[in-house]
Amino acid sequence: MTTPMNKNSLLVELFVEELPPKALKKLGDAFAGVLRDQLVAQGLAEAGSVLTSYASPRRLAAHITHVADRAADKAVSQKLMPVAVGLDASGQPTPALLKRLGALGADASAVPGLKRAMDGKAEALFYESTAKGATLAEGLQKALAEAIAKLPIPKVMSYQLESGCELPGWTSVSFVRPAHGLVALHGDAVVPIEALGLKAGRETHGHRFEAAVDPVVLRDANSYALQLQEDGAVIASFEARRAEIARQLAAAAVKAGGGSVPIDDDALLDEVTALVERPNVLVCSFEREFLEVPQECLILTMKANQKYFPLLDASGRLTNRFLVVSNISPEDASAVVEGNERVVRPRLADAKFFFDQDRKKSLASRVESLGKVVYHNKLGTQGERVERVMRIARGIAEQIGDTALAAHATQAAQLAKADLVTDMVGEFPELQGIMGRYYALHDGLDASVADAIEDHYKPRFAGDGLPRNTVGLVVALADKLETLVGMFGIGNLPTGDRDPFALRRHALGVIRMLIEKDLPLGLDALLQATAAQFAGIAGFESGRATGELQDFILDRLAGSLREQGASAQEVEAVLAPRPQRLGEVPKLLAAVRAFAALPAAAALAAANKRIGNILKKAPEADAHVSELLLQEPAEKALHAAMALVVPAANAQFEAGDYTASLQTLAALREPVDAFFDGVMVNAEQADLRLNRLGLLMSLHAAMNRVAQLERLAV
């Protein structure tokens, strides 16, 4: 058996045309990761080999340490067949054995060397050989093909390997972008592999305009990053380039003065990192008059359209300066600065124009236009949807507040979608709600109504805040309930990864509002009241909109509780009774956790499970108990204990002290155990049997008011 001859660092690079920026980091990590994993699987790289991923706008590369030029040979043991089949009575090989050996490249001379070993209940023949380890060229060729095949490519391009017209016999290649170069270096030696119609070499290319030399001829695998930076003017590492941009942004903000800081946006930083090879941050500015426009509009247009970093002052307000991450570093950057300022000016002017035009009409005057905007072909227009949300919001507000809250919530619900028909939101849909708030304040509406118009979309994502006031909370709850009930009612349910109407997010939003604000609202009553607003809509099924939706919401709640650290058993115990006031769930869960820690918990949970099984088989039972029919000492003792314990536990339950209620019930452990040890429940005498079943039914009801304790049984 041979051992690897030479271990060295390996560098593989694909040089391509500009890669999609939003996918670059994922492409780079996937390319390098699969390459390393494949080499490790083939025995060419060590499990502890260090992987460095490189990804720039025009390259994907991987550097892997401790890679062998040949994998170690491996001993291989192959089962041939049972001894009884492979050898005749005299111990000579049968034709079947010789045929199998021939398929493996061996003959009858190998028979004496065959290994015998038990395989199950029969003895079998095994052929032992040595599999030669793959060379690096063979293994890397396979690993590279796998890495290319498994790239998470957002959209594949097809192109010809030669320029010019397509002719018969020309090869078409499919990849994320046309590839123009392949580097494969093991130490300082080129590994002879091919991919995408390219043969591996040691030449790559640096910055389009600022490389000191072209091509960059790599000395060895370890000099890759340094040579690209010094000779090619490229920071090849995505992470290093990102850190350099962040450093320059912070330095430029300090240079701009006034306590300025660049806007904090990781997604924008990642995207800009994927757009430049040699970052150079410059400070630019625009006319102060544009600051009259809401800063969200200006920030969005600078970030989304131009990939600029707006500068904020110490109080978080937008300044008239912004930072540009340029891909070139001229001695005199004034032309670059002036060019970017010239480009952004029309964008800001458009935003100002939209803002000025929109304010010429009130939000209330725009509501009628929502009747022309289709919401869903089965559920009508946005105007019809607004009417439903208004009625739902008014109903919720009347339950939790006064007439003033109901009036404000109804007004906010009526105007919440009106900004959808404004010019600004038409251009920047991301500003829906935000612009509605600005226009409501301009119209002189109450601040709580204006805030609610913006906040009714909250929470928009995991970790997002809830609406800042009760008006917003009511409208947000009404809006999400309308969406959920409407979509479930017409059968538009989320499936697998598909959830085009974000129903999972809406359900979690409803859960958070009901729990975190501890709203005194029953889930089923909310769904029933909401479903009533869809009366008369063809194809709408009320049962699906309430029953199935309630299951869906409780399932979302169960997942959320488990993510927060609750065990599956605890969650099932609390949610199995289908609690209607979700604000109580945290207290119920805390009570169950405290109960589970008691010494009596396991026995009572098991007893509850046993009682539940008994009652399932006795549909004739009811909770009536006659003391005259109590005969056995154990059943009398249990009945007496319940008479003392259950009223106290019920009083604690009614007072909302669920932990104390369960702890009080724990005192029933001994009489319950004694009952099952000394009493035959299914007595032959019918009246005794029914009385004992009634006793168990009363016990079961008392024990399961807080949660289904049987779910805690192991």
* pLDDT the model gives residue 143: 93
What average pLDDT does this structure show over 465-472? 96
CA distances from 206 to 63, 339, 564, 647 (A): 18, 25, 48, 82
% pLDDT > 90, the chain: 68
In this predicted structure, the answer to whether residue 29 has a pLDDT above a threshold of 80 is: yes
Q: Among 3-17, 641-655, 698-712, whose mean pLDDT is lowest?
A: 3-17
Structure confidence by residue, pLDDT tens digits, 527-551: 999 999 999 899 899 888 899 999 9
pTM above 0.75, yes or no: yes
Q: Are residues 276 and 315 in the same domain?
A: yes
* pLDDT the model gives residue 91: 85
Most confident by average pLDDT, 122-131, 163-172, 409-418, 664-673: 409-418
Structure confidence by residue, pLDDT tens digits, 83-140: 888 888 888 889 998 898 888 888 888 888 888 888 888 888 888 877 777 888 999 9
**Position 471 confidence tier, pLDDT thresholds 50, 70, 90:** very high
* pLDDT the model gives residue 105: 82
What is the SS3 assignment for 322?
strand
* pLDDT the model gives residue 164: 46
Q: Are residues 412 and 533 in the same domain?
A: yes
Q: Are residues 127 and 139 in the same domain?
A: no
Residue 102: domain span:
74-131
Domain boundary among 321, 339, 358: 358
Distance in angstroms (rounded) separating the CA atoms of residues 112 and 89:
15
Residue 645's CATH number: 1.10.730
Structurally, how many domains does the chain consist of? 5
**Position 601 confidence tier, pLDDT thresholds 50, 70, 90:** confident
Q: Are residues 169 and 21 in the same domain?
A: yes
Domain boundary among 131, 146, 179: 131
Q: Are residues 100 and 242 in the same domain?
A: no
CB 500 within 8 A of CB 431: no
Q: Are residues 123 and 142 in the same domain?
A: no
Q: Show the 3-state SS of 115-177.
A: EEEEECCEEEEEEEEEECCCEHHHHHHHHHHHHHHCCCCCCCEEEECCCCCCCCCCCEEEECC
**Helices 601-616 and 686-703: crossing angle, nearest 10°?**
130
Q: Among 14-23, 69-78, 185-194, 222-231, whose mean pLDDT is lowest?
A: 69-78
Residue 512's CATH number: 1.10.3210
Residue showing tokens 């192109």: 159
Q: Are residues 442 and 552 in the same domain?
A: yes
What is the SS3 assignment for 104?
coil
Q: Are residues 375 and 344 in the same domain?
A: no
What average pLDDT does this structure show over 216-241? 96
Q: Are residues 242 and 182 in the same domain?
A: no
Q: Are residues 386 and 497 in the same domain?
A: yes
Domain boundary among 208, 230, 252: 230
**Position 168 confidence tier, pLDDT thresholds 50, 70, 90:** low
The reply to whether 2 falls in a domain is no
**Position 714 confidence tier, pLDDT thresholds 50, 70, 90:** low
* pLDDT the model gives residue 169: 55
DSSP string of 65-85? EEEESBPPPEEEEEEEEEHHH
Q: Are residues 452 and 422 in the same domain?
A: yes
% pLDDT > 70, the chain: 98
In this predicted structure, the answer to whether residue 4 has a pLDDT above a threshold of 50 is: no
What average pLDDT does this structure show over 322-331? 94
Which has more pLDDT, 162 or 43?
43
Q: Hey, what are 195's tokens? A: 């991919």
Q: Are residues 461 and 541 in the same domain?
A: yes
* pLDDT the model gives residue 40: 92
* pLDDT the model gives residue 466: 96
User: What mean pLDDT value characterizes the chain?
Assistant: 91
* pLDDT the model gives residue 5: 60
CA distances from 382 to 187, 304, 482, 501 (A): 65, 27, 12, 15
Distance in angstroms (rounded) separating the CA atoms of residues 685 and 464:
63
* pLDDT the model gives residue 257: 85
**Position 684 confidence tier, pLDDT thresholds 50, 70, 90:** confident
